[in-house]
Amino acid sequence: MTRRNFHSDNEAGVAPEILAALARANDGTARSYGDDAITKRLRARFCEIFETELELFPVVTGTAANALAVAQLTPPYGAVYCHAEAHLNTDECGAPELYSGGAKLIGLEGAHAKIDPAVLQHTLRHAGYLDDHECKACTLSVSQATEHGAAYSAAELAQLTRIARGYGLRVHMDGARFANALVHLGATPAELTWKSGIDLLSFGATKNGAMMAEALLVFDSALAVELGRRRKRAGHLLSKMRFVSAQLEAYLDGGLWLRLARHANAAAQAIAAGFEGVAGAELLHPVQGNEAFLRLSPAVAEGLKAAGFGFNRWPRTDDVYRFVAAFDTPSSAVEDLVQAARRLAG
Amino acid sequence: MTRRNFHSDNEAGVAPEILAALARANDGTARSYGDDAITKRLRARFCEIFETELELFPVVTGTAANALAVAQLTPPYGAVYCHAEAHLNTDECGAPELYSGGAKLIGLEGAHAKIDPAVLQHTLRHAGYLDDHECKACTLSVSQATEHGAAYSAAELAQLTRIARGYGLRVHMDGARFANALVHLGATPAELTWKSGIDLLSFGATKNGAMMAEALLVFDSALAVELGRRRKRAGHLLSKMRFVSAQLEAYLDGGLWLRLARHANAAAQAIAAGFEGVAGAELLHPVQGNEAFLRLSPAVAEGLKAAGFGFNRWPRTDDVYRFVAAFDTPSSAVEDLVQAARRLAG
Amino acid sequence: MTRRNFHSDNEAGVAPEILAALARANDGTARSYGDDAITKRLRARFCEIFETELELFPVVTGTAANALAVAQLTPPYGAVYCHAEAHLNTDECGAPELYSGGAKLIGLEGAHAKIDPAVLQHTLRHAGYLDDHECKACTLSVSQATEHGAAYSAAELAQLTRIARGYGLRVHMDGARFANALVHLGATPAELTWKSGIDLLSFGATKNGAMMAEALLVFDSALAVELGRRRKRAGHLLSKMRFVSAQLEAYLDGGLWLRLARHANAAAQAIAAGFEGVAGAELLHPVQGNEAFLRLSPAVAEGLKAAGFGFNRWPRTDDVYRFVAAFDTPSSAVEDLVQAARRLAG
Amino acid sequence: MTRRNFHSDNEAGVAPEILAALARANDGTARSYGDDAITKRLRARFCEIFETELELFPVVTGTAANALAVAQLTPPYGAVYCHAEAHLNTDECGAPELYSGGAKLIGLEGAHAKIDPAVLQHTLRHAGYLDDHECKACTLSVSQATEHGAAYSAAELAQLTRIARGYGLRVHMDGARFANALVHLGATPAELTWKSGIDLLSFGATKNGAMMAEALLVFDSALAVELGRRRKRAGHLLSKMRFVSAQLEAYLDGGLWLRLARHANAAAQAIAAGFEGVAGAELLHPVQGNEAFLRLSPAVAEGLKAAGFGFNRWPRTDDVYRFVAAFDTPSSAVEDLVQAARRLAG
């Protein structure tokens, strides 16, 4: 049977180039805890790609990268503004709260899980009125691509970060699917991050073909002070770090990350296009990454499940479903899905 | 000049009966940390008034009582549902997050800062879908009276707690103004708490004439396990506890607390009634305690400020003002306020 | 029966001057949360007495003052060095750990619960060797008087703080019994604190005649940044703060605090002197405050208990007992105690 | 040049069998977050090897496994007893404190970093005396092998756990080098864990040939409740978990883990034996795993460094050095080291 798995890009495997890099990295001994040659090379490579000096902290989960970023930018008595649907807010079981020592996440609204600038402006204008009774507004976190599969343009990011910085906030980007947004927008990594006012980036790789590798990038070294100790006490200072860095190096090498993301995005576009003719199916968000969100009739949703297709109902909804394409989703899988849906919608 | 302070009931002083009790309590030595005769008597008195066995933890701030309650009911990976406007959520600078080790507060909507049962039902029905990725639904916290000065009837409380308990949650009541709600509703303490499904009550006294005295009441002793250690490590196990307990004893004695609350409520009613004829003034919430929330025109609001009246703009609004009456607000003060408002409104 | 309570100074009541001040403070309304006239006057008074500008944070327990100080000086990934017997380390059920978000307390040795400078030097010389794997050395905390009733001279303090500062640490003093040490040493408040390198002082009053009043004093305003929010989220921003400040004002007024401490110290000296002739009794630490630590034979210890004398066995020992004198311990009480002990030792 | 790295076993690479397993696991899609076939098989395999039902939580660092175990067994107001030299206490930058929300680690003494049963007994006998003022004695943590390279026999473990359980404590074992202790002792996994009173085991693999793979094993399922949520919020629920589990499966397969540990242990024995004839060298602890601790003269220590040998000075000492052998340390490397040392000692 052909592949029918659209549950999540994290159910895919590992790109062969990345697996090969692990074998190559297994050459003799190396200093542990990131003091190895591969990690050093990797930092230089990230500097090139992002066209700036930066501090690099490889980790193995996006939750760790996000929570470290939040803790680094937000004291325990601080507040973090993010979209109400942000992964940070809904899917990490309180990791930002744990790492920060109890900072408060405040969810904001906006279409397609993009924070509405007017909402942010209004919220921050009223923040601080209660002095010590209120958590201090410290951090803005945006997801790129968003949890609804949309992408912020550089201009949209700049607008949000300008508001946030006007109130003294620092800005984090959850880039679990950064590559997908990047290739969709056709912008440079620099344009979508520090040039748009982003201070820290959770740079995702696992969902796009790595095995277990993410990187927390810090564009202002003053914001990296003691981040190493925070990482250690969170249990994320890996002893054989070279094997995380090797994944990231291969991921970046020769633009592999961009190729993989383009493939996944194209598959998501094909899904969206394919469902256009399906009765009762409604595309809810623009497809600007590798995910398509569809409202489906029970007949179609249940029929697809029965036919063995894997996809998840979106939390807090009754009839919205997410289809995620991966770096290696075959076009035949998309075709099968679409044909099955059309048959069911009959 | 007569009193013009409607900022908050916590700007009032101390009822003479309570001050006198402090002097009486200063008789010789007593066991420290709550192992004294007054604290023991106080517990018995609370049992009588609430018509049940209960565990008593006197503290000195409502924030401490609330945060201890949340921490006791909610593991660090748990979620607390409360109204979006709850004091717990907006005015305690993250105390519940600190005490609980990073639990997540989730704000719900509802008119007059009362949680809408349909919203609670919908929210809990969808909770838990994400398994370990999501904070566990553990606790419901309701404020009585609410932050908008409204009161939940016993039936309304029972409806909310029935929903919550159906999903396995425990329920806390923030009763910073419990006395005010109680006398408004004409119900018994038992009816508004454990008989309506409340597990823990932050029983307020400071806002209603005490100096610094609140009590955390636990109606199910199984929920009090190790609460003493939590109180100690929060710095709220007072060595000379008898002087907190003496305040509470005097507060309860002979129904003083009810008399004081009735006085304050009547003054708030008089404020609301007095503003009825004021052009541009709009009463926003029913006055079911000692607070009146009014939308005012700039002319009236600024004029009253200029005339020396003290009252606060409500957070996150531009033109809503809160007037709070205290246990000792003179009727002349209310009359002065109303007359000044009428003059200003022309 | 005359008083037989030597359990702790916190079993004593309140000095009449302080009780009277509470009544005086109960005059009309006042701004809440410390924005009142008494608290402002109090800060000025502390500045005079300590001969320097300082920031004042009144609280109601020594545990709160200590834990706030630790949290303010120590990030979650930091280490606090204190004596192994420090109250902070053994008697606060992890309050410093809670407030700081999990900082590590490291107990050091030294006679009479005074930190041995050589031990401190050795410890700090080896600290930091493990880089990110090790909590960062941030804070030194000393108790004045110590938990064994001894006092550090200004020179001894300066020696410790010089070592600590040489390694970049900041220094906190737990002054739960600061007055007792001060009058014993005949030094000025300034000499025993900021002139000796102390950054933050937990200034105790409750054990020496106040009802519930301590003050966290910050000698360098840069170290007070956001301490207010930490206090709030710990539940220690009292709404009717004027009644804490009034206690402290009366405590300082006319040198009351010094008189009360002198009385208590003299009583402790009398206890120590009285036990000199008692067979099997051994004074274990110099009496430089209001406490005497005695090793007693079972016959004497049990006999005194049976005769109704109150005193506690010291934790982690089998036969060491602490006798604490209070600001109002009558000399007759000491005489009774000593005579009883002599009779029992026969 | 032949290998000269004795810094740490975590500077070694990955056993070829484990690398091969990663490639094999990369076969199509799999459920994420541990709901995959490999992880399920792995749990069954662990049950066989440990001869009992158990709950399995694969993670990627020993610090994460240890800190999760501590947090699971210890409430925030609890105390954890471990050896003063325990990795948990000295090398994890406060991870147990972070994960537990501020529990207190209490270091105990004992030769060779093994907890002395008499010290444990004495400590626990005195614990609890201060009631709520004291952190509650909850957890004992032992390291197997210890941080000084020694191993507890099953009888020694049983003695410690019997004491601990007598006071109501639960017991965790930090088994970062469990395999090394196991093969040294010639005991079964069951004998050294649950049969000796161990409740939770941090089962290490990374130091012994895995890439990044450890497992937290819970022998009593009641102790695993909500551990999944704790793991998630710590950022240790890996999406592509199958690649952690595959490492562990290969590690266990055909006794690979035991073969690798035997090799490392033999190399450590050879180091210890080789230094016997070296002037000024003193073996400080029995070699019961893969580490040798030696006091060296400056001439030898500096000479070996200058010759390119890698090994670390032990923290908090001036002249004690640790030599660690890995699963793949060649015998020629040991021979080179020993010959160099002999030459230098002349």
As a whole number of angstroms, the distance between CA B34 and CA B15 comes to 23
CB atoms within 10 A of CB C225: 12
Closest CA of chain B from C155, distance in Å: 32
End-to-end alpha-carbon separation of chain D, Å?
23
Residue C239 to residue B32, Cβ atoms within 8 A: no
Query: Which long-range contacts does D185-188 make (Cβ < 8 Å, 24+ apart)?
Result: D185/D151, D185/D153, D185/D154, D185/D288, D187/D153, D187/D154, D188/D51
- How much is the pLDDT for C105? 98
C101, C134, C316 ranked by CB distance to D91: nearest: C134
CB–CB contact B228 D132 (8 Å): yes
Q: Which 8-state DSSP code applies to residue B8?
A: -
D109 is written with which tokens? 């003494």
CA distance D57 to D47: 13
β-partners of residue C284 are: none
Displacement of CA D79 from its chain's centroid (Å): 21
Chain C residues touching A57 at Cβ < 8 A = none
How far apart are the CA of B102 and the nearest CA of chain D, in angstroms? 8
Instruction: Give the nearest chain C residue to D100 (CA atoms).
Output: C102
In sequence order, which ranges of chain A are alpha helices (DSSP H)? 16-25, 37-50, 62-73, 87-90, 95-100, 117-126, 154-166, 178-185, 227-233, 242-252, 256-275, 298-306, 331-345
pLDDT of residue C346: 83
Neighbours of chain B (3+ CB pairs under 8 A): A, C, D
Q: How far apart are the first and last CA of chain B?
A: 23
**Interatomic CA distance for residues C271 and C326, integer angstroms:** 12
Query: Contact A239/D7, CB-based, under 8 Å?
Result: no
Nearest Cα neighbor of B144 from B174, B105, B100, B183 is: B174
Residue C243: its chain B contacts at CB < 8 A?
Answer: 14, 211-212
Q: With bands split at pLDDT 50, 70 and 90, how would you rate the model's confidence at A346? A: confident
SS3 category, A298: helix
Tokens in use for B56? 């008593």
Cα–Cα distances in angstroms (integers) from residue B97 to residues A133, C78, C99, C227, in the given order: 14, 21, 11, 17
- Cα–Cα distances in angstroms (integers) from residue B2 to residues B5, B265, B329, C133, D325, in the given order: 9, 20, 10, 64, 84
Which residues of C fall below an 8 Å CB-CB distance to D?
Answer: 76-77, 90-94, 97-98, 100-105, 126, 129-130, 132-135, 313, 315-316
What string of H, E and C letters represents the secondary structure of C305-316?
HHCCCECEECCC
Helical H segments across chain D, by residue range? 16-25, 37-50, 62-73, 87-90, 95-100, 117-126, 154-166, 178-185, 227-233, 242-252, 256-275, 298-306, 331-345
Give the C-alpha distances (Å, rounded to integers) separating B264 from B147, B287, B325, C162, D132.
16, 11, 5, 57, 38
Tokens of A320: 């919205």
Given an 8 Å threshold on Cβ–Cβ distance, is C101 in contact with D104?
no
What pLDDT is attached to residue D339? Answer: 97
pLDDT digits (tens, 9 = 90+) for B266-303: 999 999 999 998 999 999 999 999 999 999 999 999 99
Q: Are A287 and A281 in contact (CB under 8 A)?
A: no
Helix-helix angle B256-275:B242-252, to 10 degrees:
70
Identify all chain C residues contacting A76, using CB atoms and an 8 Å cutoff: 101, 230, 233
Put simply, the answer to whether A102 touches B98 (Cβ < 8 Å) is yes
Contact C132 A231 (CB under 8 A): yes
Nearest to B257 by CA among B191, B195, B207: B207
Closest CA to C136 of C48, C180, C76: C76
Give the type of residue at D303. G
Alpha-carbon gap, residue B169 to B81, rounded angstroms: 10
> At CB < 8 Å, which residues of chain A contact B?
76-77, 90-94, 97-98, 100-105, 126, 129-130, 132-135, 315-316
Q: Which two tokens stand for residue B257?
A: 């607390």
Cβ pair C144, C62 in contact under 8 A: no
Residue partners of B62: CB distance under 8 A and separation at least 6? B87, B174, B176, B202, B204, B206, B207, B214
Amino acid letter for position A276 = E
Q: Could you tell me the strand order of the sheet in which A55-59 lies?
A: A55-59, A214-218, A200-204, A170-175, A136-143, A78-83, A104-108
Section D304-326 average pLDDT: 97
Q: Which residues in A lie closer than 8 A to residue C136 (C-beta atoms)?
A: 226, 229
- Residues D275, A127: Cα–Cα separation, whole Å: 67
Shortest alpha-carbon distance between residue D98 and chain C (Å) = 5
Residues 6+ apart with CB under 8 A from D322: D149, D291, D292, D293, D311, D312, D313, D314
Which chain D residues contact residue A67 at CB under 8 A? 235
Average pLDDT of chain A, as a whole number: 97
The distance of A229 to chain C (nearest Cα, Å) reads: 5
Best A3, A5, A11, A72 residue to mutate vs chain D (most D CBs within 10 Å)? A11
How many CB atoms neighbour CB C14 within 10 A? Answer: 26
Mutate to test the interface with B, among D229, D236, D238, D241 (most CBs of B within 10 A): D229
What are the residues whose beta carbons fall under 8 Å from the beta carbon of C327, sequence distance 6 or more?
Answer: C9, C12, C15, C208, C209, C260, C261, C263, C264
Closest by Cβ to D77, choosing from B132, B136, B230:
B230
| CA–CA min distance D87, chain A (Å) | 12
Number of residue pairs across A and C with CB atoms under 8 Å?
47
- Name the pLDDT band for D75 (thresholds 50, 70, 90): very high
Q: For chain C, which ranges sit under pLDDT 50?
A: none
Inter-chain contact C126–D315, Cβ cutoff 8 Å? yes
Q: Per residue in B302-328, pLDDT tens?
A: 999 999 999 999 999 999 999 999 999
d(CA D17, nearest CA chain A) in Å: 12
Of C101, C126, C316, the CB nearest to D126: C316
Residues of C with Cβ-Cβ distance to D77 under 8 angstroms: 93-94
Sign of CA dihedral D283, D284, D286, D292: negative
Scanning every residue of chain C, which has its alpha carbon at the shortest distance from the alpha carbon of A130? C229
Q: Kindly report the number of other CB atoms within 10 A of residue C302's CB atom.
A: 12
Contacts of A127 in chain C (CB under 8 A): none
Query: What average pLDDT score do residues A148-153 get?
Result: 98
D-chain residue closest to A66, CA distance:
D235
Instruction: Tell me the per-residue pLDDT of B162-192, one tens digit each, with 9 for 90 and over.
Output: 999 999 999 999 999 999 999 999 999 999 9
Chain segment D124-147, per-residue pLDDT in tens: 999 999 999 999 999 999 999 999
User: What is the mean predicted confidence (pLDDT) over D287-311?
Assistant: 97
The residue assigned the tokens 């003479």 is B16
Q: Which of B30, C7, B57, C93 is nearest to D131 (CA)?
A: C93
Residue A73 φ/ψ region, left for φ over 0, alpha for ψ in the -120 to 50 degree band, beta for the rest: alpha
Kindly report, residue by residue over C91-105, the tens digit of the pLDDT.
Answer: 999 999 999 999 999
Tell me the three state secondary structure of residue C323: strand
Selecting from C131, C133, C229 the residue whose C-beta is nearest the C-beta of A132 gives C229
A·B CB contacts under 8 A: 68
Query: How confident is the model over C212-245, as pLDDT tens digits?
Result: 999 999 999 999 999 999 999 999 999 999 999 9
- Reported ipTM: the value is 0.97
C-alpha to C-alpha distances, A129 to B24, C195, D159, D297, nearest whole angstrom = 41, 38, 60, 65
List the single residue in B with minimal CA-CA distance to A101.
Answer: B102
Q: Tokens for C247?
A: 């206690």
Complete domains list, chain A, with CATH: 16-254 (3.40.640.10), 256-345 (3.90.1150.10)
Q: What confidence score (pLDDT) does residue D2 get? A: 79
Residue B104 pairs in a beta bridge with B79
Does the beta-carbon distance from B91 to A316 stay under 8 Å?
no
Are residues B93 and A134, on separate chains, in Cβ contact within 8 Å? yes
Average confidence (pLDDT) over D50-62: 98
Q: For A88-111, what is the mean pLDDT?
A: 98
> Do B166 and B28 contact (CB within 8 A), yes or no?
no
What is the rounded distance in angstroms from the CA atom of residue A173 to the CA atom of residue A169?
13
**Out of C76, C105, C315, closest to residue D129 by CB:** C315
The length of chain C is 346
d(CA A92, CA B135): 8
pLDDT mean across residues, chain C: 97
For chain A, what percent of residues have pLDDT higher than 90?
99
In this predicted structure, what is the pLDDT of residue C1?
59
Distance from the D48 Cα atom to the nearest Cα atom in chain B, whole angstroms = 27
pLDDT reading at B1 higher than 70: no
Q: How far apart are CA C41 and CA C54, in angstroms?
A: 13
Mutate to test the interface with B, among A92, A97, A130 (most CBs of B within 10 A): A97
The residue assigned the tokens 């005079």 is C48
Q: Hey, of A229, A231, A239, A241, which one would you mutate to test binding to chain C, going by the most C CBs within 10 A of its CB?
A: A229
